[in-house]
Amino acid sequence: MIEKLVKIIVQRLELRAETKTSITVSKMPQDPVAVFMESGTVRLTQVNKHFLERILGGNRAESLTSWFEKAADYGVVIELELYDNGEPWLDYAMLSQLVYPVFTSTGEQIFHSSGQVICYGDSAIIPSGSTLCKYKKQLITPLANEYLTKNNIAVRERQ
């Protein structure tokens, strides 16, 4: 009997790990436990600059803080999806401060390196098909540039 119960629990956990749920930030449930019980990954969609500032700000609303703490307690991966591609409003410095992966509305993951020089080590962690955001003053080493080109990683440049 116990073996059957353990088998059912393991199957349920495996299914949960594979399940991904999308929730619009304007419709985030106050008590997300039901969502966290069913999904291993929750993607918050329609994210704007104000929402990113709330996440990064030390004075974020109590409900938002508890929401993210519950996600961590349940081992849920949180992803953020912008309402557009993030141009021109997305502050690249914000990207380096966020602990959650950020995606455009078309599904491209966005990365940013805060160093003056983007080296191979910075580019090697970026998955193929993603986007690297950089400032004009940031330099890319030849080896990093080769990796970015080879792995179809787009580079966005801003002043």
What global pTM score does this model have?
0.84
Number of C-beta neighbours around residue 97 at 10 A:
12
Nearest to 35 by CA among 10, 7, 47, 43: 43
Q: CA-CA distances (angstroms) from residue 45 to 36, 51, 83, 151? A: 16, 11, 7, 26
Please indicate, yes or no, whether residues 135 and 80 belong to a single structural domain of this protein: no
The helix or strand, by DSSP H or E, that contains position 138, with its residue range, turns out to be none
In the block, residue with structure tokens 């999308």: 22
SS3 129: coil
Rounded Cα gap, residues 38 and 148, in angstroms: 36
User: Does residue 64 sit in the same domain as residue 140?
Assistant: no
* Whether residues 80 and 124 fall in one domain: no
Amino acid at 33: V
Residues 68 and 19 in one domain: yes
CB 153 within 8 A of CB 128: yes
Strands 154-158 and 77-82: unpaired
**81 in the same domain as 149:** no
- Same domain for 79 and 157? no
Same domain for 96 and 116: no
The domain of 89 spans: 1-107
Task: Tell me, yes or no, whether 82 and 11 share the same domain.
Answer: yes
pLDDT (tens place) for every residue of the chain, 159 residues total: 888 888 888 888 888 788 899 999 989 888 888 888 888 999 999 999 888 888 887 666 677 778 888 898 989 999 999 998 777 788 888 888 888 999 998 888 999 988 899 999 999 999 999 999 999 999 999 999 999 999 999 999 887
What is the Cα Rg of the chain in Å? 18
Same domain, 7 and 67: yes
State the Cα torsion 88-92-97-98 to the nearest 10°.
50
